[in-house]
Amino acid sequence: MKRFRLKMLAVLVLFVMSSVFYSCTKDDVAVVESNFSVNEMSSVGEINSVASRVSQGVGNTRNEFDYAGVLHNQILEKFVNEVDFSGMTYEEVLKEIKTIALANKGYLSMFKKHKYVGLSVDQVNSSINDFSNEFENVVNSTELSVMAKAKLNELLSRTFKVRGNYEGYRNQVIKFEEEIMGSNMSAQEKRIILSVSSIARYSGSFWSNHHAENVGGRKFFGWVIASDIVGGVLGGVFGGVAGAIGGASSGSSLAHTINQAK
């Protein structure tokens, strides 16, 4: 019975959104979510330039892949606000995220030479089964180097321990990013990890904006951001930055769908 309850909790919590403390005002978050004209931009430089001006308390201009978090939030914004997801299956949600991503001009202009990479239903189920291990087995099953796996598991461990202090978490992630940028990991592995860490920071601001009424330091914040991270890793291994965005967006959208169905 205990094992069954843990598994059911994992299903609801792995992809369940919650709320977080956020050091900026709701207006600051709204600027990132609503006025970030990513769909009208055509280069990484343009997106990062705007990010440096409007993402106070969220972004990290030293991370050259910070646009991953911006695009991740754009995709989620459209899903949450425009999709009737009631009754959707996992597979249907995953397909919807693909459709939204491939309609985003910013996403297409940067990744037009890459095929879309998101999550599969099998990957979702495998992640749920590894929830009690903080997704360590999922990360270790990838073909990343020993060092890259260790750093990702370190980020996940930190994330699971967060209890709603977004500002503190953001500072931890930025320090983590400095360590990654200064490491001797391959350029490809740095690209994946820095994309995922950007998504983790922006995801926190997104859900605090959409669920501000529930802010209260609850530990669910750690769980939902961890689902973004593991989704981003699974997508990023096969699809680089584009895959990280697709994988993480899929995880968050599934979380929202399951949470709303409760």
Distance CA 257, CA 262 (A): 9
Q: Which of 31-45, 52-66, 241-255 has the highest mean pLDDT?
A: 241-255
User: For residue 95, with 0-12 CB atoms within 10 Å meaning exposed, 13-18 middle and 19 or more buried, which class applies?
Assistant: middle
Whole-model pTM: value is: 0.77
Query: Other C-beta atoms within 10 Å of 120: how many?
Result: 14
Residue 94 pLDDT more than 80? yes
* Statement: residue 129 has pLDDT above 90: no
Average of pLDDT values for 148-156?
Answer: 96
What confidence tens digit (pLDDT) does each residue in 176-234 have? 999 999 999 999 999 999 999 999 999 877 776 666 544 444 555 667 788 899 999 99
Structure token digits, residue 18: 């919650």
Judge whether residue 41 has pLDDT over 70: no
Mean pLDDT of the chain: 75
Tell which residue, 85, 58, 80, 70, has the closest CA to residue 33: 70
